[in-house]
């Protein structure tokens, strides 16, 4: 299989790796870089468990080829908390609102929630549900997830900044 040299900046750390050209970003993150927080649920881009941020925009890592991410700034769930272990405001809100059950979808939900807030899609619960709809939760923790996103947006001032 043809190999490619790819440089990925993940959570602020630059990695140059030789990979098969057909390797997905999820595969590269998990198997090549050991970042197993990105989950592979459906492997078809339908469930959102593999959601990561590429240059600040959410993508499904299970359908994105790693070679297509060469040179991009990537953020995974491992990159949300501060180096000292302080949780990201979205992580804190998920804990506060018990917005996870089995936890499998949680990394993708967190990444999508961070993007949803940054994109300014937190005007009301319906808007949050719409913009989080690409992330499925088999345990049906949706009310808690919406509450957590609303809370995190309020605490970080994103809704106020967008409405100003």
pLDDT tens for each residue of 39-85? 999 999 999 999 999 999 999 999 999 999 999 999 999 999 999 99
Q: What is the pLDDT of residue 163?
A: 43
pTM: 0.93
What gap in Å lies between CA 18 and CA 64, rounded to an integer?
A: 17
Domain-ending residue, one of 24, 46, 79: 79
Strand duo 73-75 + 3-10: pairing: parallel
Residue 40's domain comprises 3-79
Does one domain contain both 132 and 108? yes
Of 31, 54, 79, which residue is a domain's last? 79
Residue 84 lies in a domain: no
Domain end (from 29, 58, 79): 79
């Amino acid at each position: 299989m043809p190999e490619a040299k790819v440089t990925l900046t993940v959570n602020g750390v630059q990695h140059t790796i030789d990979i098969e050209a057909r390797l997905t970003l999820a595969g590269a993150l998990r198997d090549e870089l050991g970042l197993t927080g990105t989950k592979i649920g459906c492997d078809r881009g339908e469930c959102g468990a593999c959601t990561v941020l590429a240059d600040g925009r959410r993508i499904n890592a299970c359908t994105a080829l790693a070679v297509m991410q060469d040179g991009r700034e990537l953020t995974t769930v491992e990159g949300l908390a501060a180096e000292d272990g302080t949780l990201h405001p979205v992580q804190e809100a998920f804990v506060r609102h018990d917005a996870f059950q089995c936890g499998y979808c949680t990394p993708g939900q967190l990444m999508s929630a961070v993007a949803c807030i940054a994109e300014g899609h937190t005007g009301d619960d319906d808007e949050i549900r719409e913009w989080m709809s690409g992330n499925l939760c088999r345990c049906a923790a949706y009310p808690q997830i919406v509450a957590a996103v609303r809370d995190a947006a309020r605490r970080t001032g994103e809704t106020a900044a967008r409405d100003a």
